[in-house]
Structure 1
Amino acid sequence: MSRSEAPSAKAAVEWLVSVAPDPDACRWEWERSPLGVTLLPAGRSWDVLILPGDLGHPTLGVLARLVARPGPVLADFGDSRLGFFVPAGTATRWLGTGVRGAGRGTWIVVPYPGRATGGVRWLVPPDGSGVLTDPALLELAMHEAAAVVAREGSEGS
């Protein structure tokens, strides 16, 4: 870890690598990776709900109005999908059209906090505190966002 990294980035790294089978090896590899990404297992401390970008971005907008800071959120290359970090176990219970869940037994590509990558990036980086998005609040935000998207679509027709 470089001396210039903010304390929150260090805390975020520690929180993220804590789920790795070998946190020290993961951290060492991640810090030296030219791509700035690593694979981390979902389902231990968090799951990830993956929304299509056309629903994910408005959902994040609604969440930002409802809470001071939602849990971590990833965007893939081109922002075609957004991944919301939610409590472990959420993915197995989640039912939603177009929403994929990554839980136990799956791995997520995760960028190093505070570093630019060519692909996946943090829209809301983890702060190391372990704060996750509440699934019930995420569902409400998704419903509101879907209504806004549908309304805008019908106005454009």
Structure 2
Amino acid sequence: MDWLSRAADDPHACRALWTESPDALQLVATGRLFDVVAMPWGLGLTVLGQLYHGKRCMAGAVVVNQRREKLGFLVGPGAHLVWPDLLASAGGDPTAATCSGRDGYLLAPGPFFAPDAPCWWQRGPVGDAGDLTNLQNLADAVAAVGRLVSLSDAYVTSVVGASGER
């Protein structure tokens, strides 16, 4: 969490708060050490599943915001500049997920899970670099999930047909 606290406006105060209250929430700036790709949590959990390969997960740090019903994938700084085009080039819907960079903030949970907290780490940041998700892998996974949803919708439509009966 030392790495993440460096993104706060006052890193020393952030570290002190997390030392005293490890379940506390802190606002940390995006765009300095990381950007955040946010998406609805149904999509986000499915994308997270796509990023697992056997026992190895291709996702870096992922935060859940229960109140907003979103997942946020921490990615490299500057990602907000290329995210919509990268997602579109991967065949995904550029509006499926948004990317926050400079002038944005992340409500970041502390290192300990609090059951009543509005935010928690699905995958916590580790190490000095924060364990960021590769942006291309994330765009490919979002696009793949979008294709699966489209195929599923088309199948249901063909089975249900115009009558609305199965």
**Where on the TM-score scale, by shorter chain, does this alignment land: which range?**
0.7 to 0.9
> Matches of residues 26-65 of structure 1 in structure 2 within 5 Å?
26-33=14-21, 36-65=24-53
Task: Give the gaps of 5 or more residues in structure 1.
Answer: 1-12
The one-letter code sitting in structure 2 at the alignment partner of 1:104 is R
Say whether residues 1:123 and 2:112 are aligned partners.
Answer: no
Runs of 4+ in 1 over 6 A off after TM superposition: none
Say whether residues 1:76 and 2:65 are aligned partners.
Answer: yes
> Matches of residues 1-157 of structure 1 in structure 2 within 5 Å?
13-33=1-21, 36-65=24-53, 68-69=56-57, 70-77=59-66, 80-95=69-84, 96-116=94-114, 117-130=116-129, 131-157=131-157
Give the whole-Å Cα distance in 2 for the aligned partners of 1:61 and 1:98: 17
Residues 36 and 115 of structure 1 are in contact (CA less than 8 Å); yes or no, is this contact kept in structure 2? no
Task: Give the gaps of 5 or more residues in structure 2.
Answer: 85-93, 158-166
Deviates more, 1:62-71 or 1:86-95: 62-71
Root-mean-square deviation (Å): 2.2
Partner SS for 1:91: helix
- Identity, % of aligned pairs? 30
User: Aligned-pair distance for 1:63?
Assistant: 0.7
Report the CA distance shift for 1:86/1:151 in structure 2 as closer, same or farther (over 3 A): same
Residues 22 and 111 of structure 2 are in contact (CA less than 8 Å); yes or no, is this contact kept in structure 1? no
User: Aligned-pair distance for 1:79?
Assistant: 7.3
State how many pairs are aligned. 145
